[in-house]
Amino acid sequence: MSRLIHSAILAAMMFALAACGTNAPAAAPPAPPTTAPTIAATTAPSAAPSAAPAAASDHAQALVGAWTTTITKEDLLRVVPDFKPEFLCDNAGTAVWRFNADGTFSGDQTAPLAGCPKPEQTHNESTWFTQGNLITLGKGGPDEMVYEWAVKDDMLTFTYRSGSCIPCRAGDTANPWKRVK
């Protein structure tokens, strides 16, 4: 299974986290972390997260819950004009993020784009961490992505800051994510 298929989740963010990185086949998914993730909103850029779980800050609490969006092939190409055509279907469709207060999240591609087959991988799980208005997904891992985030009127938007997963960047930032009530 390619790392690009991995992106279908996070870009199904998640169309995008489920398919991060290269086009080479990926190894088996990593084992879940042995320590609980941390959600923190700090002002010190060098502050390291602790291993113990923490309650989401008031600011980060705005992320907790479920979010959905639909991403088309055209959306992916708008964000990344040289997106490889053979991976467009894997990263397009309807997706749902679920951000949990314990610093974990899941992403599911709930429906492929019309005319596209269902991708092999439609589910992804990892950790999230905030520092002010930055969110880091998969902190410390090979698919770590950093975005600036904002919530307004039950719409979540991401602006790319760093990370090497091109399909993640395309899917996660292409359209706003609407809060699922």
pLDDT attached to residue 7: 39
> What 3-state class would DSSP assign to 128?
strand
pLDDT at 148 > cutoff 80: yes
Q: What is the DSSP letter of 143?
A: T
Task: Give the model's pLDDT for residue 57.
Answer: 65
The stretch 167-176 carries a mean pLDDT of 96
> DSSP assignment, residue 47?
P
Amino acid 25: pLDDT? 31
pTM of structure: 0.71
Short-list 3, 4, 174, 16, CA closest to 87: 4
Q: Report pLDDT digits (tens) over 81-119.
A: 999 999 999 999 999 999 999 999 999 999 999 999 999
Q: Which of 176, 68, 56, 179 is nearest to 128 (CA)?
A: 56
pLDDT in tens, 4-59: 333 333 333 433 333 443 333 333 333 333 333 333 333 333 333 433 334 456 78
